Structure 1
Amino acid sequence: MTIRSTSLSRTASGLVILGLTVMGLTGLGLTGLVVLATPAFAGQDAPETETPTFPRDLILLPEDVQSAATEGLAAQTAEVPTGLSAAEAAWYRAQIAYVGEDFFLARNYAETAAAGGVVDAALLSGLMARNGEGGPIDLVTAARWFSRAADRDDPVALYNLGLLARRGDPALELGQPEPWFERAARAGHIPAMVAHAVTLRNSPVPQDAIAAREWAGRAAQQGSAEGMYQLAQMLDQGQGGERDAAGARVWYERAANDRHAEAAFQAGMMWADGEGGEQDDATGREWLRVAAESNYAPAQGQYGLMMYQGRGGEADPDMAAYWFSRGASGGDVESQFLYAFALARGEGVPQDFEAAYRWALEAAVDPLGAPVHDRDRDRLEAGLEGVLPADIRQRIRAEVEAAR
């Protein structure tokens, strides 16, 4: 949920971005849009990620299991430590098979161990059934295995039951997701804390916002980027307590440091506007860069605008047009308008009235199908209609409407 939509950033007091005067498009007088970006890890390489060898939801594999899997031992013939019960031995083999990517065998062993009461085996059985590993996707079976682990108040199982309940499939017989998320949150599951906070935040009961802010804060304090973002939004909007713009900016930045694109966008907006602290275009532009490079479409258009205007750094019309196009292709209507404008002017991109008209029409409707009431866009569309032949306009309009 974005608080500062990009349409709010085109203020009457902003810079004039394009004094457009091209073949009949005169005096559009478009005003500048505020832009943003993110600083903390500017210039750093994105952290490398490795494909996990075991579901992240579960505990780390014992060293002997890792060694057996690394050595390529078959799960059926691997030597099992002494003193294990039959269920524990099946769980031991299930882990070796899973790491060795023999998912069919891993699923069989895990289900055997789960039937014998091994909670982690029930979790793995549920995950594999849900994900279609070692057999077809079977959500009913997944719910059954998760429920077995949830009977022991396992937080991972409770959270996954909440995720399944969120699907709204009556065949799963799980009811509403919120009770599962709340139980998981109270058991210490961090993503469940966030899910619980979001549910409370969206509740029509005003008092629930107080609890939402508390749960988001717990998740944020334990390092959850989404928890940080949710807390920042509630501080920003004054939900569940007094508005705290300075605190919101801090938490947006902390979430952005963990590559949360929307948080980076919001942090950049606040720096660019001087909201919640000092105003600084360079910091705002840098935060927006991170958000744009994270493929967050609203940030891409706004980052391009800052580059066009030369706010927070050198002006670069070519790169501005590039980011306008990225945001436009991502479905952001503000970016679509900006790209249409750049095409109409021929700045940073070859002048192309037909393409400009197409993007101006795209910008007339948001991704949810609601009309966008924007005076500048309307003026741009009208100006382009003044230079394009009627048959071309009709063809482009029909193509845009057919694609919606």
Structure 2
Amino acid sequence: MKKIIVGVLLSAALFSITALHAATPEEAAMIANAAERGSTSSQVLLAVLYANGDGGKEKNDKLAAYWFERAAEGGNPYAQQKLGDLYEAGRGVPLNLKVAADWREKAARRGNVDAQAKLGKMYLEGRGVDKDYRQAESWLNRAAVEGSGEAQFLLGKMYHLGIGVERNREIAGNWLAKAAAHSYDDAAKLLHLLESFGLHVEEGFYQRLPDLHKLAADGDAEAQYQLAVRYESGAYGIDKEPNQALYWFRRAADSGHVMAMKSLAHIYRDGLDGVQPDREIAAAWADKARSAAK
């Protein structure tokens, strides 16, 4: 039975990292054995156990870094991104921003959204890499399209201030509105400033709640998604209502909205909006999102 449990964990590694906080010492030992045999998924899970001090393991940043590096060298993008984080913070490895950027670029090129956003920020600030606004805009845009609130905020700020791009308050407002809808407070503050100038941004973000409800009820997937993010984040002055958020995310996902599918995968992976964590449902929605995006 234990082998079956661990097998499920390993096959869903990217969607079950947080679930391993309850790993037993016996399960951790099985993961360690698989990691020693070269399983990159197992190496990632073992690294997480050492990073968090779970599964009977004492918290050990050096061993976490060691196993993340083993998995990263095997091509695992999650491990590559986490290794970048460790080198940026100097946890378990010497602080080295250049090495952090190198690992993040590997992960970013493999589609890791977190790495794309962080790499874009490094190019924007010239940390670990030469300052390069073109590269910054490119990586931030890729992450922003996939729903990264930080990337959306930084892109909005670039267009608002004209940093490396032609100043465009309408584009700035659209990205800031998306970031604000994800509860990115700095974006909401800057968006409020733009509003004070009478800026008109993407219509969907400023439609009144009753209008959005009507469109959503009529089957408009984007309106359904916008309702969901408003109810989830409390954006635009409405009360947070997790049940309503979950309902409209499902409606939008069933209507084919890719970001809604990704949101559901995230919700079920981490147990948000009042649902119990469920790796199988999370993985199913993530698979649907990948298929729909092709």
Please give the TM-score of this superposition, normalised by the length of structure 1: 0.45
Does residue 144 in structure 1 map to residue 29 in structure 2? Answer: yes
Q: Identify if the C-alpha distance between structure 1 residues 326 and 173 changes in structure 2 by more than 3 Å, giving closer, same or farther.
A: same
Matching residue of 1:310: 198
Matched-pair contact (CA < 8 Å) for 1:225–1:255? yes
- Determine if the alignment matches structure 1 residue 194 to structure 2 residue 81: yes
Structure 2: unaligned runs, 5 residues or longer: 210-233, 241-294
Matched to 1:195, the amino acid is K
- Tell me the distance in 1 between the aligned counterparts of 2:23 and 2:30: 11
Task: Give 1:246 deviation, angstroms.
Answer: 2.5
Contact in 2 for aligned 1:280/1:312 (Cα 8 Å): no
* RMSD after superposition: 3.7
Contact 2:23 2:55 in 1 (8 A): no
**1:277 partner letter:** V
The CA distance in 2 between the partners of 1:174 and 1:280, in whole Å, is: 47
- Residues 173/307 of structure 1: CA separation in 2 closer, same or farther (3 Å cut): same
Structure 2 residue identity aligned to 1:285: G
Deviation for aligned residue 1:125: 11
The yes-or-no answer on 1:179 pairing with 2:73 is no
Does 1:297 find its partner at 2:185?
Answer: yes
**Residues 1:109 and 1:156: Cα distance change in structure 2 (over 3 Å):** closer
Change (3 A) 1:305 1:141: farther
Q: What residue number does 1:274 align with? A: 162
The residue type equivalent to 1:142 in the other structure is E
In structure 2, relative to structure 1, the CA distance for the partners of 1:302 and 1:150 (3 Å cut) is: same
Q: Which residue of 2 aligns with 1:234?
A: 122
Do the aligned partners of residues 128 and 212 (structure 1) sit closer, same or farther apart at CA in structure 2, a change above 3 Å counting? closer
Q: CA deviation at 1:281?
A: 0.3
Which contiguous aligned blocks of 4+ residues in structure 1 show a shift greater than 4 angstroms? 124-130, 204-207, 322-327
Task: Tell me how far 1:248 sits from its aligned partner.
Answer: 0.9
Shift of 1:203: 2.5
For 1:357-372, what aligned pairs fall within 5 Å after superposition?
none
TM-score (norm 2): 0.61
Q: Of the candidates 143, 153, 159, which is equivalent to residue 38 of structure 2? A: 153
Separation in structure 1 between the aligned mates of residue 147 and residue 172 of structure 2, nearest angstrom: 15
Structure with more contact order per residue of length (Cα contacts < 8 Å, sep ≥ 6): 1
How many aligned residue pairs are there? 209
Supply the AA of the counterpart residue of 2:35.
A
Residue 165 of structure 2 aligns to a residue whose secondary structure is: coil
Which protein has the bigger helix share?
Answer: 2
Give the aligned partner of residue 110 of structure 1: 4
Deviations 1:127-147 (A, max 9, x none): 999848xxx944423321210
**How much has 1:326 moved relative to structure 2?**
6.9
- Structure 1 160/310 Cα, relative in aligned 2: closer, same or farther at 3 Å? same
For the Cα contact (< 8 Å) 2:105–2:119, is it kept in 1?
Answer: yes
Q: Is the 8 A contact 2:2 2:27 kept in 1?
A: no
Query: Against the structure 1 CA distance between its residues 150 and 170, is the aligned structure 2 distance closer, same or farther, given a 3 Å change threshold?
Result: closer
Q: Distance in 1 between matches of 2:17 and 2:86?
A: 27
